[in-house]
Amino acid sequence: MFIVVGLGNPGKEYECTRHNIGFRIVDFFVDQNNFSKFRHSKKYNAFVSEGLIRDSEALIIKPQSFMNLSGTSIRTIIDFYKLNPTSDLIVVSDDADVKIGQIKIQKGKSSAGHKGVQSIIKEVGTKEFTRIRIGIDSEDPAYRIPALQNGLEDVVLKNFTESEEKVLKNVISEACEHIKNIISSDKF
């Protein structure tokens, strides 16, 4: 069994923000792959969907705690199903160090300051899980990460621009293909 976690913040006000690209990707994945509708699990404090990818069972998870506490839900699920995060966990998250339109897939890397990923590392006790990092760094000077004066929060909680949304359509589809390929292969 695989656990695919899309990271984001719960609530309508965060729905289209840069920080919620993980939620958007797993929503699209569920719709495109005939998975069950998301249902809220109080036990896991997450929305959960289930399905099969090429005969491999997968749970798609959207933690409903705020980003910085995402690991608590994931730890509960991993413990319940007795899974190995090293081989069974895929985390989809935004990444301010990656340009919009780019996707990076890694295993065993640090959180690079991403508090949601850091929470997962802390709770599951390892950084040796697969990450799909979705670029949110913009070409628009108002959204440029290096030029920030008030911190990263100013950017990650903003919506994407209209031109960026056009780019994201391809990125979301590509990220979903990566999820399927990771699940269906025996190695990263």
Phi and psi dihedrals of 141, rounded to 5? -55, -30
Sign of the alpha-carbon dihedral angle for 47, 153, 99, 141:
positive
- Does 19 qualify as catalytic in the annotation? yes
Greatest distance between any 2 Cα atoms in the chain: 49
Catalytic residue, chosen from 19, 40, 114, 178, is: 19
Sheet harboring 130-137: ordered strands across? 39-41, 46-53, 56-63, 2-6, 89-99, 130-137, 103-107
| Secondary structure class of 158 (helix, strand, coil) | coil
What residues act catalytically?
19
